[in-house]
Amino acid sequence: MCGIVGYVGPQGALDVVLEGLRRLEYRGYDSAGVAVLSDGELSTAKKAGKLANLEKVLAEEPLPSSTIGIGHTRWATHGGPTDRNAHPHLSADGKVAVVHNGIIENFALLRAEIEATGTEFSSETDTEVVAHLLAAVYRETPAGEGRLAEAMRAVSRRLDGAFTLVATHADEPDTLVASRRNSPLVVGIGETADGTAEYFLGSDVAAFIGHTRNALELGQDQVVELHRTRGATVTDFAGAPVEPTSYTVDWDAAAAEKGGYPWFMLKEIAEQPQAVADTLLGRLGESGELVLDEVRLSDQELRDIDKVFVVACGTAYHAGLIAKYAIEHWTRIPVEVEVASEFRYRDPVLDRSTLVVVISQSGETMDTLMALRHAREQKARVLAICNANGSTIPRESDAVLYTHAGPEVAVASTKGFLTQVVACYLVGLFLAQVRGVKYEDEIAAIVDDLRRLPEAVAKVLEQMEPVRELGRELADANTILFLGRHVGFPVALEGALKLKELAYIHAEGFAAGELKHGPIAVVDQGTPVVVVVPSPRSRNSVHGKVVSNIQEVRARGARTIVIAEEGDEDVVPFADHLIRVPRTPTLMAPVVTTVPLQVLACEIADTRGFDVDQPRNLAKSVTVE
């Protein structure tokens, strides 16, 4: 989950690396550091805290000019967020600099081996073992072209766990090498205005999007050498050549900027109508059939599916809970929703008739990736819902549906969640189409309903000032409860998660029907209770039961905050605060009812003086288990 940047080319490396780190600071902000290579010597600067702390150090003590460098923003795992644990880490001879994302599981064994040679460590990190190993192996590797890459391959073969490593050596002033296993890394290929080639490395493409949109995918257990004149060379850990897949990033640097908003999260909330529209764009073929991005499964294989698992973490898990309602309703296939970190450890029953839908915004979520691999080992089919083209999860899946949400920088997911929900609807409809349980005109009608969602979300956003005012009023609350039924229950869970992530307030989401089975005991005078009310128009609606729940908590002193569709008058007498959303089909209601909860959490956090984009202890992409 750390941010990594590397550069070799004609530009000033430090400026390029710092620019990349600014774009990647959402991935890790416990500390930051850089290393540049100039006149045969490595120079480093690193500082605990956010990137601004490092920039202050560099302003006071500038590094020498250089055209090759690496940088890192850290989310601490081994060792606290201190100056000495910040990356890059140097070898004992000062010739190797390394940055790292992930966890090296056998680092203790390797550290003991290195310390036995008399080498002293200067940090508590697992990363430093790599710097010392790489220096030792490099000394033993015959001189010649590709020497540093060969040393990196040898070291990588000794490491257990998940890692992305980027290294430079004082004796090779034109070369960067990088290695990846179970951790994200992409290569950027660009050229300056005069046609000079330049090369970039990044944890994701945001690191270099200001310079090039041309990228290379790196696969599992691969090493890349970036040389100023020889270009990019990719091999596996054994040294066999690999032909990497190239692709073009479909968004630009402006999409990763705040655009005048005080927080990235506010910008991304405002982008949700367009993100939902883009996710739906081009999904119907010329003859009316639904089309997914990339499906490597035959129609017959999908017809053979008799069970669906949806596997995800955090916010994506809540999208999966909503998916269960839609997929079961439209296809009549039983669906289970699993937390990815628990999935493989409970030994689920999987076979070739099982479809596992994995959801990950980044495509690199480690728990989800491991669940995916377990599913494939059991011969299950895997379909990925993802926002990051070229990331690991879609590459290793049998099918993928990209959400096309554009970059999401704020740690708390907003447009990522809404587009995941919409993508889940599309998966359900696609299965219904292939299995013949819905006709083309039925699917087209549902897609038309989906296409009206961007307008509905935009309408919600136009009416958010009272919600912001409410957020400012609730900033001193110690506990806020969220209630919902049917698809409103996952929305309640998501609302509570957003509040916990951003405002550090105790918040819980409950199925409203469970209220009398325990949760009502925590309701006291003035306790804010947010209730997501289902439409009274739907068949078998539990609307009346939820209205009763509102009365129950209100009778016990709760301050009721009710989210209900336009025209629902039954809730009016019992709502201390009423938030209206447009009428939508029942299954699609989460796309509009979630938005006020995002705005509410953001406003409460901002009022409490917290960093909305970078909440404490969290990182955007969880790439370790």
* CATH number of the CATH domain containing 552: 3.40.50.10490
Q: Are residues 427 and 498 in the same domain?
A: no
In this prediction, residue 512 has a pLDDT band, given cuts at 50, 70 and 90, of very high
Q: Is residue 31 classed exposed, middle or buried when 0-12, 13-18 and 19+ CB atoms within 10 A define those classes?
A: buried
- pTM exceeding the 0.85 threshold for the entire prediction: no
Q: Are residues 119 and 23 in the same domain?
A: yes
Q: Is residue 236 classed exposed, middle or buried when 0-12, 13-18 and 19+ CB atoms within 10 A define those classes?
A: middle
Contact present, 157 and 237 (Cβ < 8 Å)? yes
Tokens read off for 433: 């189409």
Report if residue 625 sits inside a domain.
no
Q: Are residues 15 and 122 in the same domain?
A: yes
Q: What is the mean pLDDT of residues 23-42?
A: 88
The number of folded domains in the chain is 3
CB atoms within 10 A of CB 544: 11
Q: Are residues 122 and 237 in the same domain?
A: yes
The arrangement of strands across the sheet holding 3-8 comes to 41-48, 31-38, 68-74, 3-8, 197-202, 186-191, 214-217, 246-248
Q: Are residues 100 and 248 in the same domain?
A: yes
In this prediction, residue 251 has a pLDDT band, given cuts at 50, 70 and 90, of low
pLDDT at 47: 96
pLDDT digits (tens, 9 = 90+) for 136-167: 999 999 999 999 999 999 999 999 988 999 99
Give the DSSP per-residue string, 348-408: ----TTEEEEEEESSS--HHHHHHHHHHHHTT-EEEEEES-TT-HHHHTSSEEEE------
- pLDDT higher than 80, residue 112: yes
Q: Pick from 396, 418, 451: which residue ends a domain? A: 451
In this prediction, residue 36 has a pLDDT band, given cuts at 50, 70 and 90, of very high
- pLDDT higher than 70, residue 78: yes
Q: What is the mean pLDDT of residues 302-307?
A: 96
Q: Are residues 474 and 404 in the same domain?
A: no
Tokens read off for 527: 């306790």
pLDDT at 623: 65
Tell me, what DSSP letter sits at residue 477? -
Q: Pick from 402, 432, 451: which residue ends a domain? A: 451
pLDDT at 184: 84
Q: Is residue 12 classed exposed, middle or buried when 0-12, 13-18 and 19+ CB atoms within 10 A define those classes?
A: middle
Beta carbons within 8 Å of 185's beta carbon, 6+ residues apart: 4, 101, 164, 166, 178, 201, 202, 203, 218, 224
The radius of gyration of the chain from alpha carbons, rounded to an integer in Å, stands at 25
Residue 332: phi and psi, rounded to 5, are 65, 20
- pLDDT higher than 70, residue 208: yes
Q: Are residues 76 and 211 in the same domain?
A: yes
pLDDT at 539: 66
Report the alpha-carbon distance of residue 167 to residue 190 in Å, rounded: 20
Q: Are residues 479 and 371 in the same domain?
A: no
Which amino acid is it at 305?
A: I
Report the alpha-carbon distance of residue 547 to residue 562 in Å, rounded: 10
Q: Are residues 249 and 275 in the same domain?
A: no
Report if residue 624 sits inside a domain.
no
* Residues recognised as catalytic: 2, 620
What's the full length of the chain, in residues?
625
Q: Are residues 407 and 486 in the same domain?
A: no
- pLDDT higher than 90, residue 182: no
HEC string of 394-433 equals: HHCCCEEEECCCCCCCCCCCCHHHHHHHHHHHHHHHHHHH
Q: Pick from 210, 235, 254: which residue ends a domain? A: 254
Q: What is the mean pLDDT of residues 485-503?
A: 97
Tokens read off for 555: 């009778």
Q: What is the mean pLDDT of residues 576-596?
A: 97
Report the alpha-carbon distance of residue 186 to residue 357 in Å, rounded: 24
Domain of 310, in residue numbers: 261-451
